[in-house]
Chain A
Amino acid sequence: MSAFVEMKQISKVYPNGVVANKHVDFAVEKGEIHALVGENGAGKSTLMKILYGLEQPTHGEIWLRGQRVEIANPHRAIDLGIGMVHQNFMLVPSFTIAENIVLGSEPRKGRFLDRAQAIAITETLSKSYGLQVDPAARIESTPVGMRQRVEILKTLYRGADLLILDEPTAVLTPQETDELFLAVRKLVDQGKTVIFITHKLVEVKEISDRVTVMRHGEVTGRVATADVSEADIARMMVGRAVFLQIDKPPVRRGRVVAEVRNLGYVAETGRPMVRNVSFDVYAGEILGVAGVEGNGQTELVEVMTGLRPATTGEIRIDGKPVQGQSARRIRLSGVAHIPEDRLTNGVALDASIAENLAVDRYNRPPFTRQGILSPRAIQTQAVALMQQFDIRAAGSAAPMRSLSGGNMQKVIVAREFSAEPALLIAAQPTRGVDIGATEFVHTQLVAKRNEGKAVLLVSADLAEVMSLADRIAVMYKGEIVGILENGPHLTEEEIGLYMLGLKRDEGARGEGRGARGEGRRELSRPSRKFQPSRKIMQRRSQHR
């Protein structure tokens, strides 16, 4: 039988040159729950935006119900019965829930809105699909779980047969997730088809009938969920050999470089994002921070680097308290930072490479002497760093914009490493960069550790954390729920329990267990895990 939706040989190149999808084949059967999984940046959202008409593919075709379709805009997609719930909610904050649900196709009384009808529609929909909402409440004052239900109702109101849910559980509590799953099953019972994007493997197993796995813009597997284990899917998702080759000498832990005590941070929305976090980072070790994204890692890093003010608690670098100080002061205390979102604050696209490399040091000799800035010194440094870090560009005066993602990341790494920090904070340091650059960054991080620097590695890529870190702190809902010694004994499943909030060490709130006692430990390479199994390889080749 022919598939309900078929996307054939889809490729997408963004205007900035990022290749988000490469010859992707994707098919969904009618009435199934199809999971689309992959690491961040794998290209899942892009593929779905193409299906929903928000982006146009550079190459490839879309077939729906056996017919070739052109989906020029979301309007067309809605007409075709496709609905999408976006990763970032697409709701108007000052509008009520009913207004949001009917937005774009409002019930009318003559030339006017029929507001009573909008509320009635909302209530009916809400009842028939078991998605509880308050029609008159404004979006800005409703909890996240309800916002998501509004998004789903929005697509149903528009008559969607095919629902695309882009990482719907990323922002939900476990209870809300359970409710969502119930609702999704109900939808399928009523004849809808659902594409469910996630990177949580437990969810894939729990909810989906079939699964498509993406990595670096390509499809790496397409299987029936029942036939595979979570570990199999993980292999297809991560499936890289590079991280196996990291050679780490045994950890030689030195002095305490960073001490974080009872740190708390409340976001502007009033939501507490970091709660009572305490840990130490020692010289000569890599402390990994694992966790599902959105559990406070971003805020923790930004508070530690002075980009956001801590609400409570203390941070000391080499014994000196730094909380509440400016980003510059904190940098001067010996903290360097590879930010998670390169384009937002890691680089200035319109400035030159040389200027990007000097943003944290332009006001010190040799760049500034007696208040006078020396462009030549900035230039000289750039040439040296570009050579040392193998940054490929037209020259040090070339604008940052002209670099590839991997080379941009190298510029950041070059700047932060050359700052000779005591503590290096690396947040998602390999996100969206190619294999070569990934390997480069990994080697550099380990080299810093071996030199006796303290490294805090925050990554949503569990494989990355497990292959690099000496200890792993797991964050869940703003808290550190466990600090685990890395080693052959530590399994992904074990960390997974912490990540999902199913397990926690009360001791973790104070300081990492075992961090003090065992001075040195030999760590062997975690070579067992993540070797692609023959079974998967075969299946993959069948699909090709």
Chain B
Amino acid sequence: MTQNKTLIEAIRIVVVVLIALAIGFVITALVSKEPVAAYTALLTGPLPKISFENGFAITNINRFGNWMEESTTLILLGLAVAIVFKARQFSLGAEGQMLLGALATAVIALKLALPFPWHMILALAAAMAIGFLWGLLPGLLKAYLAVDEIVSTLMFNVIALQLFDLLLFNWLRDPTAGFVGTVPFPDSAVLPLAISGTRVSWMIFIMLAAVVIVWFLMERTPFGFELKMLGANRKFAEYGGINTKRVIALSMAVSGILAGLAGAHLSMGLLKRLTINLSPGLGFEGIVVALLARNDPRWVLVAGLFYGYLRTGAQIMERSSDVTREVVLIIQAIIILLITAEQLFPRFQQWWGARRNNEAAMERG
């Protein structure tokens, strides 16, 4: 029976994604002269081309690389969101944690001189630590003072953004650069490449490890059990003896670690420096990944790859057609709306089921 439910759920998610893609296509067709070409670019662009004409050759590896880069960030953010959502905490703090994570790497990278790999490791650790802290603070406020986490995390995001700008403008900025940004990080603080010809760095391994660790944390540790019970029914968790305040605070803090890592990926892996306006709104994109994955870390990997694929495809589409990449944001919004619309598909089903249940219940008496 539960097997059956999981299957229905999976089908539902696939149907939602297909509907969203279809709506995306209609919208594209409305504005584009060549909608089919544009959509083809969106849907197949990120695939590397394998040709056998002059022997075996893979071209467009950089597109594949873009896909992996995007997905790495998104999966880290998706994991961050999955943890808090699993505990049913509406923390929206990933944006701020990500910014501060990137900021911390810049401080370590530019203000300390250390040999590789210690420099890199220290920078990563700093990003995780600040993310942890920036999640812990609103977590403690929620747990012990009942401060609404939506408002507080949004405010912590504002503070984080101001801190970011403050340090960037006044301390880290390279005055000779034509834009607001730092000098490039020293090589000792840059993540080494994993695939040459791309920007895919060791972060992809860290990300994979994070998926495994978060899965393990959720499914194979007492903390994961506590997280699940807290999310299922807080009063029940308390009744069972779980210290829910601790779990609330920790869930938000642990989530921050992953968002901090996502920030480190932007600075140490992709840009290799810090710039102003570091990807605004990206912190919210973990939400769609976590929703698609139903907060399951294994599915976060799949959903992140899928959504990263779409985003990369959109960039390729933007370069090769008259449609901008923002169409994926529209698709994303539709996915969120439809996935959370519990009443959409089951309406008929439920009506039918309720009738049968009523009759059965009356007979049972």
Query: Do A and B touch (CB < 8 Å)?
Result: yes
Mark out the residues of chain B between 1 and 46 whose CB falls within 8 Å of any chain A CB in the assembled complex: 1-2
Does chain A have a CB within 8 A of B232?
Answer: yes
In the complex the two chains form, is B362's CB within 8 Å of A11's CB? yes
Q: How far is the CB of A484 from chain B (nearest CB, A)?
A: 30
Do residues B365 and A13 form an inter-chain contact, with CB atoms below 8 A?
no
Residue of B nearest to A218 (CB): B365
A398 at the binding interface (Cβ < 8 Å): yes
Residues of chain A within 8 A of B224, CB atoms compared: 373
Q: Determine whether B229 belongs to the interface, using a CB cutoff of 8 Å to chain A.
A: yes
> Roughly how many angstroms separate A517 CA and B240 CA in the complex, as a whole number?
37
In the complex, are the beta carbons of B358 and A13 less than 8 A apart? yes
| A348: contacting residue among B1, B233, B241, B357, CB under 8 A | B233
User: Is B232 a contact of A397 with CB atoms below 8 Å?
Assistant: no
Q: For chain B residues 208-261, which have a beta carbon within 8 Å of chain A?
A: 219-222, 224-226, 228-229, 232-233, 235-243
Report yes or no: B361 in contact with A347, Cβ–Cβ below 8 A: no
Residues of A within 8 A of B229 (CB): 348, 351, 355, 359
- Contact partner of B361 (CB less than 8 A), chosen from A19, A375, A397, is A19
A349 and B362 contacting across the interface, CB-CB below 8 Å: no
Chain B residue numbers with a CB within 8 Å of A245 are none
The answer to whether A509 has its CB under 8 Å from any CB of chain B is: no
Given A19-B362, A348-B232, decide whether A326 and B225 contact each other with a Cβ distance below 8 A. Answer: no
Count A-side interface residues using an 8 Å CB cutoff: 45
A10-38 interface code vs B (CB 8 A; 1 in, 0 out): 01010101110010000000000000000
B113 at the interface (CB under 8 A from A): no
* Contact call A360/B358, Cβ cutoff below 8 A: no
Distance between B57 CB and nearest chain A CB, rounded to angstroms: 47
| One of A91-99, A144-152, A337-345 contacting the partner | A337-345
Does A222 lie at the interface of the complex (its beta carbon under 8 Å from any beta carbon of B)?
Answer: no
Q: Among B1, B219, B240, B243, point to the contact of A359 (Cβ < 8 A).
A: B240
> CB within 8 A of A349: which of B220, B232, B242, B365?
B232
Q: How far is the CB of A216 from chain B (nearest CB, A)?
A: 9
Can you list, as one digit per residue, whether each of A417-459 has a CB less than 8 Å from chain B (1) or not (0)?
A: 0000000000000000000000000000000000000000000
- The answer to whether A58 touches B358, judged by C-beta atoms less than 8 angstroms apart, is yes
Could you tell me the distance between the alpha carbons of A18 and B358 in the complex, rounded to whole angstroms? 9
**Would you give the 0/1 interface string for A336-372, flagging 1 where the beta carbon is closer than 8 Å to chain B?**
0101000011111111000100111011000010011
Type the 1/0 row for B321-365, where 1 means its CB is closer than 8 Å to any CB of A: 000000000000000000000000000000000100110011011
- Grouping DSSP codes into helix (H, G, I), strand (E, B) and loop, the B interface class, with mixed when no group exceeds half, is helix
Q: Which listed residue (A15, A337, A371) contacts B221, Cβ 8 A?
A: A371
Residues of B within 8 A of A539 (CB): none
Please give the distance in Å from A298's CB to the nearest CB on chain B.
13
Given A372-B220, A398-B1, does the pair A17, B361 have CB atoms closer than 8 Å? yes
Question: At the interface, yes or no: A394 with Cβ under 8 Å from chain B?
Answer: yes
* CB-CB under 8 A for A368 and B362, given A13-B357, A339-B239: no
Closest CB in chain A relative to B364 CB, distance in Å: 8
Contacts of A398 in B (CB 8 A): 1-2
Q: Judge whether A72 is part of the interface by a CB distance below 8 angstroms.
A: no
* Chain B residues whose C-beta falls within 8 Å of the C-beta of A11 in the assembled complex: 362
Are A362's CB and B222's CB within 8 A? yes
Beta-carbon contact of A373 and B239 below 8 Å: no
CB–CB B220/A326 < 8 A: no
What is the CA–CA distance of A345 and B225 in the complex, to the nearest angstrom?
A: 17
A373 CA to B237 CA, complexed, in Å: 17
User: Could you tell me which residues of chain B, from 177 to 215, have a CB within 8 Å of some CB in chain A?
Assistant: none
The answer for the CA separation of A329 and B243 in the assembled complex, in Å, is 11
Taking a contact as CB atoms under 8 Å apart, the answer to whether A348 and B236 are in contact is yes
Given contacts A13-B358, A345-B233, A397-B2, A328 and B221 within 8 Å (CB-CB): no
A binding-site residues for B, Cβ under 8 Å: 11, 13, 15, 17-19, 22, 58, 305, 307, 326-332, 337, 339, 344-351, 355, 358-360, 362-363, 368, 371-375, 394-395, 397-399, 402
19 contacts between A and B (CB under 8 A): A13-B358, A19-B365, A58-B362, A307-B239, A327-B239, A327-B240, A327-B241, A345-B235, A348-B232, A351-B229, A351-B233, A359-B241, A359-B242, A362-B225, A368-B221, A371-B221, A397-B2, A398-B1, A398-B2
